[in-house]
Each structure stands twice: as structure tokens, then as C-alpha cells.
């Protein structure tokens, strides 16, 4: 029970890696705030409660600063504190540079980058006050190496790494660790629209010879959220099967 009694806020937790993380954290004794703009997040919270855990769904649009402030307030109202924040919410709107619309560029920046900023700025002061906390930001292998047709996504995920390293310096002295995770190609709803030939290519490039699973990534989030990672700060952990760019 690596998170016994800890309160974790997980954004984008209605499906995919976020959902898997919520269920895994709950199985390790965490009290979970499922934060998502998708109402399916309620089903995730209900599943945790049905299994004997504690969870609450908070409808949250991470691009809305007032909604992020409400998330922090509702989480503390429900559970008294926030020990872990997983900034998992993210979207893709792919397109080559010459075809990518300004709207698609701005939307990805607003969710993936500014959304991470908005939620963290709302919750970090609570962690500073209690002199402890774990912040886990979700980057991507794309933020490290780039990827064809993902100007907007790659830019946001690279910027998340930059913010992570700044926050690790600013908040570390307050007892708060800030780390980033860079997943490789993971089999989730987000990859369902990717052509099979592209997925095959990704498998070929990965020394382990397979796509990742949501649990592969959630296990790393669990490590960073736990006391086992008490001296890990400002790190970027790749979870990509040894992907060769």
C-alpha cells in the first residue's frame, strides 16, 4: 500500500493512462480525485468506490483557470489535503506544418501546456503550505525526439519538460518533488486512429518489440508518487521500451 492515506489528483483520468493510474493508485490506498472534462470520469470514481476505495469525480476543464481553482478547493473539501498531482490531461491534433491550422495549434497548447500550468498553479500553494507533495507532469517521447506531423504536440511536451525542471528548483526547497514522465507509443484510445502500418513501424523501432500499455506508464507514476522516489526531483523518466528515434 504505497499510497496509504495519500490524496491524489489525476487530470485526464476518465480513460487511458489516466484511468489506469487512478485505479492503480486507489489499489495502493490512495484517495483519488478523478479530474476530467469527460463525464466518463464519474464511472472511474464509482469503480474505485465499488472496490472499497475512496474517490470523487470533479468535472474539470484544465484550460479554465476558475475550474482549476475549483478543483483544488473541491479536492481539499473532500479529503482535507492534496499529496500528489498527476498532470495527465492531454490531446492531439496532428498535421504537417504547412497544413496545421492556428486553431489546432492553439487548442493543443491550451490543454497540454497551459492546462498543466493552470492546474499546478492552483494546487502547488497547498503543497507549499503543508511542506510536502509530489507533482508528476506528463511529457512524451515526442517531446524528446520530435515526430512527423506533430509540431503542436511535440512543442507542448518539450515545454512541459522545461517547466518541470524549473518547478523542481523552485519547489524542491519546499519539500515538493516535480518530475516528468515521457511515455513512448502506448496502446490507448489516443492511438486507435493511428494506421496499423505506422504502429508496426513503432514496434519495429522499439527494442522490446511492442507498444506500451497503460499499466506500464501508471507503474512509473506510482513510483514517483510514493516515498520510494523521495530523492528523485527534476527527472525525466522515459517509458518507451528503449525506443530508438
Question: How many Å apart are CA 25 and CA 240, to the nearest integer?
Answer: 21
* Domain count along the chain: 1
Q: Is 76 helix (H, G, I), strand (E, B) or coil?
A: helix
245 lies in a domain? no
pLDDT > 80? residue 193:
no
pLDDT in tens, 54-67: 999 999 999 999 99
153 assigned to active site? yes
What 3-state class would DSSP assign to 23?
helix
**The whole model's pTM is what?**
0.96
More confident residue, 78 or 191: 78
- How many other CB atoms are found less than 10 A from the CB of residue 196? 7
> Which member of 145, 153, 221, 231 is catalytic?
153
Percent of the chain with pLDDT over 70: 98
Is residue 244 domain-resident? no
**pLDDT (average), residues 41-51:** 98
Q: What is the average pLDDT score of the chain?
A: 96
132: CATH: 3.40.50.720
Amino acid at each position: 500500500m504505497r499510497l496509504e492515506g495519500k490524496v491524489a489528483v489525476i487530470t485526464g483520468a476518465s480513460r487511458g493512462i489516466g484511468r489506469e493510474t487512478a485505479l492503480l493508485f486507489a489499489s495502493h490506498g490512495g484517495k483519488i480525485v478523478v479530474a476530467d472534462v469527460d463525464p466518463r470520469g464519474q464511472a472511474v470514481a464509482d469503480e474505485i468506490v465499488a472496490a472499497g476505495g475512496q474517490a470523487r469525480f470533479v468535472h474539470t476543464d484544465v484550460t479554465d483557470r476558475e475550474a482549476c481553482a475549483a478543483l483544488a478547493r473541491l479536492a481539499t473539501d473532500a479529503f482535507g489535503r492534496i499529496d500528489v498531482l498527476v498532470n495527465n490531461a492531454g490531446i492531439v491534433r496532428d498535421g504537417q506544418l504547412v497544413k496545421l491550422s492556428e486553431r489546432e495549434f492553439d487548442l493543443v497548447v491550451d490543454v497540454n501546456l497551459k492546462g498543466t500550468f493552470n492546474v499546478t498553479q492552483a494546487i502547488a500553494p497547498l503543497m507549499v503550505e503543508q511542506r510536502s507533495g509530489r507533482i508528476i507532469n506528463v511529457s512524451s517521447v515526442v517531446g524528446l525526439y520530435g515526430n512527423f506531423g506533430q509540431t503542436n504536440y511535440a512543442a507542448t511536451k518539450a515545454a512541459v519538460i522545461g517547466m518541470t525542471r524549473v518547478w523542481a528548483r523552485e519547489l524542491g526547497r519546499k519539500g515538493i518533488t516535480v518530475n516528468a514522465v515521457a511515455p513512448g507509443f502506448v496502446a490507448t484510445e489516443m492511438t486507435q486512429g493511428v494506421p496499423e502500418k505506422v504502429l508496426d513501424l513503432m514496434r519495429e523501432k522499439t527494442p522490446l518489440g511492442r507498444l506500451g500499455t497503460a499499466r506500464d506508464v501508471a507503474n512509473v507514476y506510482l513510483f514517483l508518487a510514493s516515498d520510494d522516489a523521495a530523492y528523485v526531483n527534476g527527472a525525466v523518466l522515459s517509458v518507451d521500451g528503449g525506443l530508438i528515434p
